[in-house]
Structure 1
Amino acid sequence: MEHMKSYQKESAFQADRRKATTEFIKIVSDLWYDKAIEVVLFKNQIIDKNVSDIIHLHEYAGEFVQKPISIFDSLEILRTVNDLRLPPSRLDIGKLTYEYHSDGNNFNDVKAFVVDKLKGANKSTHVGPKDVVLYGFERIGRLLARELLVQVAKDAQLRLRAVVIRERLNAETLEKKANLLSMDRVHGRFMGTLDIDPENNLLIINGTPVHFIQADKPEDIDYTQYGISDALVIDNAVAFRCQHELDRHLKSKGAGKVLLTAPGREVPNIVHGVNHQDYDSDYTHIYSASSCTINAITPILKVMEDSLGIKKGHLEIIRTYTHDQDMMDDPYENYGFGKITAPDITLVKTCAGRNAAKILPSLKGKLTANAIHVPAPSGSLAVLNLEVKNRTSLDGINTIVKKYALEGDLVEQIKYSLSKEMVCSDTVGTSASTIYDSNATIVSKNGKNIVLYIWYNNECGYIHQVIRLSKHIAKVKRYTYY
């Protein structure tokens, strides 16, 4: 009988929890689509998530902050947020819930607490959307298109208007581009609507018309013909790398800024969260978002440099094979790349140490690096073997990284993983550029030598960084509460 009562009590609780989660999901959607208020849970995106996803994220959040984070509590706070007249913003409901129930909280009334915490929102200035052009429609470009069009709400920040390709533009080309956009073998199907308008060279994506423009030279394009002005051109074709070449984009009519999705030469290389404040977009017109690897390792390198000081280090980058590796043995400038990709682990040269120092100049000359390409389609691992100036411990390092993952300028970049079984495919879908493996860290007895394991998704983690940097360049970033 006692077992039956216990079962019934647990069943009733689970039903109530799922019902609360359903209401939570509805409010999250209403805030996003009606008010352009994006709600996240400890930086995890929760728009269009199902009930099980939301419950799982609450359990992760509770384990992360070592304090229960209940769906009932976060729902109560979310209801209050929904009742307030807030401008377009990005709010972390996990952080708000944690702070409301943390020790020393002086608020007994939820509304008073939320109003006090979000009082800075009404001081933020509203900025209209920025037109975006994708120059090239490679894999990164297609994933950017997906994310930009998923993020469309009542008040968009970045508005994808056009894609530039070099191929001959006709119905067949548009159909091929649509097929590549709709299904990615790693990231799955694009869960949106997609129609082709070959007469007007358009793809209609989630109801949004996107012009396709054929051009061999960027300076020949007149974007204003398509109603596009002062656009941010995101060059993902990577045909140009240096300032002189990238400057050709600015000769296009209707282009305002340029962002390269690869390391650039003679232009600012930026990792959002690390050095994006070093350049003012009023005066800087061409940027590089560096590489996926640099966006993964520099947030943690900055944390270690600021907290412990880095004397020297070696970076071992274990990453997925790239599109320019051969499927069969063939001559290649880089000897390893000439060997068949599928069954091989390949040791190749990398500029990761030098490129990291472009972002963090204090590390110049302190880092060596190698890269090992492995036969996996997505998800990579960086092993940072560092000698630090200040003595530390395993608990000390984990405490430091957790603090940066909870608050400060790197909360969007660093995800603190509690998993004991991380594998590269676990990184798929993660918006953070850096996934810190807290269970893998090694510290020497003297506390001066540390080994850190940093997972990252070289595609979706990177494109979220590109979008963050794009919003900064375009000056359309909204009020954020993290």
Structure 2
Amino acid sequence: MLQTSDSCLATWMGREALAEAMIPVIGRLFRENNVVTSIHGRSLISKSTMGILKAHRFARRISMDELLLEETAPLLNTLARLQLGPASIDIAVLNQKFKERDSDATLEEFLRTELAELVGKRDGDSRTSTDVVLYGFGRIGRLLARLLIEKTGGGHDLRLRGIVVRRGSENDLTKRASLLRRDSVHGAFEGTIKVDHQTNTITANGVQIQVIYSDNPATIDYTAYGIKDALVVDNTGRWRDEEGLSQHLLSKGVARVLLTAPGKGGLKNIVHGINHSDITNADRIISAASCTTNAITPVLKAVNDRFGLVHGHVETVHSFTNDQNLTDNFHQGDRRGRSAALNMVITETGAAKAVAKALPELLGKLSGSSIRVPTPDVSLAILNLSLQSGTTRDEVNNFLREMSLHSNLRKQIDFVDSPEVVSTDFVGSRRTGIVDGLATISNDNHLVLYVWYDNEFGYSCQVVRVMEEMASVKRPSFPATNVVEEAMSVLASLG
């Protein structure tokens, strides 16, 4: 039955009202229970009314039907009454399981059974928070700050306590706060920021951040600021090996160090979703690899596991970075002295070789090169691959689409098949690599994939995931499913 314009508007307003009513419930679950709610992996924390509506519509990509707020609203309200302990809960998957139940259990009875490990555990969280210090406050440092502030919940997670910078001017503190508040690429900070010159702190959404001025990582007494057993995240790129980064461990109050750049020597290079289980309590210094390595490794693993990878070449079309010159000037690196705003610049990339540090089975199978282009953010990796098993474009796209929706790599891999998307559409993507399905080329054993990635924000999300593993503050996920078997089952049904 066709709807009139008045009935369409009335339906929309009703859905808006339901979404608005969900916001305080989602917030209360997060603040009081440390429960993160999501829809097929898309977090609902701090989402606007429109964000919640869009998340429900996104569900069409999985079930072909839009997720109904009339179903999720009562589910959320019931969750809020169960005094749950900390967890990540996918309400879309829970809702589907409830609809497919083989009993007459009510919604509350079903949830009590499904979440039995969590019910009544609101005050039973044995985890302790981990203090975090950002050493350096550039592009990645400020995005990490935004993410850590956004994720601040019940006090049992990562707590941003301080940043370390070199004083740049007399009004340095004000300028640092302004750069956190305003971003030319990622937009305004969601919330409030205030500066206290007496205590040398920036307070953002209630998170008090101590600003420490130093140019020596080995001589800071973090305990003087109440910071203990801290995880220091080095965003400077100044030190890349264990010897240089171990200087942080000489400062009082530091327990572990994470580098947001490819590590040299014997440092573990961690790509979350691939080898994060390699992190042990004995690891004091770890690297989160590079933005490109994080973007391509999950896709390469998926392809290698399914079709077998003989060899490949990775070409990145990469946005310019701070390392390049704005106008022509001297630079130690080849070609990087030429204006980043005016030129495409051929340069080197170690990402292809770095993949093997996270995925050893690809050692010696990849080469790589890069072209820097005059855009400020979002890059594109072109994977030119030779496979052991022949395939078709449709088979590869169906496989990668299902991996992005159902597999244990769904936080890393995304998939898009719109004929109109361009680079700016992926600014702010929390997935580390987005496969452009319409650009896929397949000729039996020869495959070309185009993978977009927000080399700033998407990478920062991966860094936070590594931080959570290092600090052992990751929440348990519900409902528990064997996502790999689920993905393979879906693929089998596709033929």
Settle same-fold status: TM greater than 0.5.
yes
Residue 436 (structure 1) shift: 2.0
Name stretches of at least 5 consecutive residues in structure 1 with no aligned partner: none
Matched, 1:61 2:59: yes
Q: Distance in 1 between matches of 2:41 and 2:28?
A: 19
Equivalent position of 1:218 in the other structure = 217
Structure 1 residue 59: Cα displacement: 1.7
Look up the match of 2:102: 106
CA distance in 1, matches of 2:326, 2:456: 21
CA–CA separation in structure 2 for the residues paired with 1:260 and 1:391:
39
Query: Against the structure 1 CA distance between its residues 389 and 62, is the aligned structure 2 distance closer, same or farther, given a 3 Å change threshold?
Result: same
Aligned: 1:41 with 2:39:
yes
Q: Give the match for residue 477 of structure 2.
A: 480
- Identify which of 69, 77, 97 aligns with 1:79: 77
- What is the TM-score with the length of structure 2 in the denominator? 0.90
- Deviations 1:378-401, CA, capped at 9 Å, x for gaps: 111111111111222223223322
Please, which moves more after superposition, 332-341 or 155-164?
332-341
1:338 deviation in Å?
2.0
Cα distance between partner residues in 2 of 1:255 and 1:223: 7
Structure 2 residue aligned with 1:385: 384
- DSSP-derived class of the 2:343 partner: coil
Q: How does 1:127-146 map to 2 (within 5 A)?
A: 127-146=127-146
Give the TM-score of the pair, scaled to structure 1.
0.93
Letter in 1 for 2:467: S
Q: CA deviation at 1:107?
A: 4.7
Which letter maps to 2:63? V
For these two proteins, the number of residue pairs brought into alignment is 474
In structure 1, give the amino acid aligned to 2:52: I
Give me the whole-angstrom Cα distance separating, in 1, the residues matched to 2:372 and 2:279: 33
Any gaps of 5 or more consecutive residues in structure 2?
480-495
Change (3 A) 1:26 1:418: farther
CA distance in structure 1 between the partners assigned to 2:437 and 2:114 by the alignment: 30
Quote the offset at 1:121 in angstroms. Answer: 4.0
What SS does the aligned partner of 2:272 have?
coil
Asked if residue 459 in structure 1 is aligned to residue 456 in structure 2, the reply is yes
Alignment of 1:148-187 (within 5 A): 148-167=148-167, 172-187=171-186
2:26 paired residue number: 28
Worse-matched range after superposition: 354-363 or 393-402: 393-402
Q: 2:343 aligns to what?
A: 344
Please give the secondary structure, in 2, of the residue aligned with 1:241.
Answer: coil
Distance 2:430 2:49 in 1: 20
Task: Check the 8 A contact 1:269/1:290 in 2, yes or no.
Answer: yes
Instruction: Name the CA distance, whole Å, in 1 between partners of 2:161 and 2:471.
Output: 15
Give the whole-Å Cα distance in 1 for the aligned partners of 2:154 and 2:399: 38
Mark the CA change 1:402 to 1:111 in structure 2 (over 3 Å): closer, same or farther.
Answer: farther
Identity over the aligned pairs, expressed in percent?
A: 37
Amino acid at match of 1:225: A
Alignment-mate amino acid for residue 188 of structure 1: G
State the distance in 2 between where 1:197 and 1:374 align: 40
Shift of residue 344, structure 1, vs aligned partner: 1.5
Take 2:399 and 2:251, find their aligned partners in 1: how far apart are those partners? 46
RMSD: 2.1
Q: Quick one: which of 91, 94, 106 aligns to 1:93?
A: 91
User: Equivalents in 1 of 2:236, 2:129: separation in Å?
Assistant: 24
Letter in 2 for 1:51: T
Deviations 1:220-248 (A, max 9, x none): 11111111111000001121110011111
Residue in 2 that maps onto 1:188: 187
Does the CA contact (< 8 Å) of 1:107 and 1:113 recur in 2?
no
> Aligned-pair distance for 1:268?
0.5
Task: Judge which range, 431-440 or 367-376, deviates more.
Answer: 431-440
Per-residue CA shift, 1:292-320, capped at 9, x if unaligned? 11111111111111121111111111110
TM superposition shift of 1:187: 0.6
User: SS state of the match for residue 190, structure 2?
Assistant: coil
Q: Quote how far apart the aligned CAs of 1:278 are.
A: 1.5
AA in 1 matched with 2:212: I
The 1-side partners of 2:310 and 2:254 are apart by 43
1:89, 1:479 within 8 Å by CA — same for their partners in 2?
yes
Preserved contact between residue 171 and residue 198 of structure 1 (Cα < 8 Å): no
The Cα offsets for residues 378-437 of structure 1, whole Å up to 9 and x where unpaired, read as 111111111111222223223322332233431211222243322111111221112122
Q: CA offsets, 1:165-224, max 9 Å, x none?
A: 1226x7611111111111110011112221222222211222222111122211111111
- Secondary structure of the 2:346 match is strand
Which residue type is aligned with residue 234 of structure 1? V
**Shift of residue 125 of structure 1?**
6.2
**Distance (whole Å) between structure 1 residues aligned to residue 399 and residue 215 of structure 2:** 49
State the Cα distance separating 1:264 from its structure 2 match: 0.7
CA distance in structure 1 between the partners assigned to 2:278 and 2:201 by the alignment: 38
Secondary structure at the counterpart of residue 439 of structure 2: coil
Choose 395-404 or 338-347, whichever is displaced more.
395-404
Q: What does residue range 222-261 of structure 1 map to in structure 2 within 5 Å?
A: 222-261=221-260
Q: Cα gap change, 1:51/1:208 in structure 2, threshold over 3 Å: closer, same or farther?
A: closer
59-68 vs 32-41, which moves further = 59-68
* Residues 259 and 286, structure 1, Cα contact 8 Å, conserved in 2: yes
CA contact (8 A) 1:261 1:291 kept: yes
Q: Which residue of 2 aligns with 1:263?
A: 262
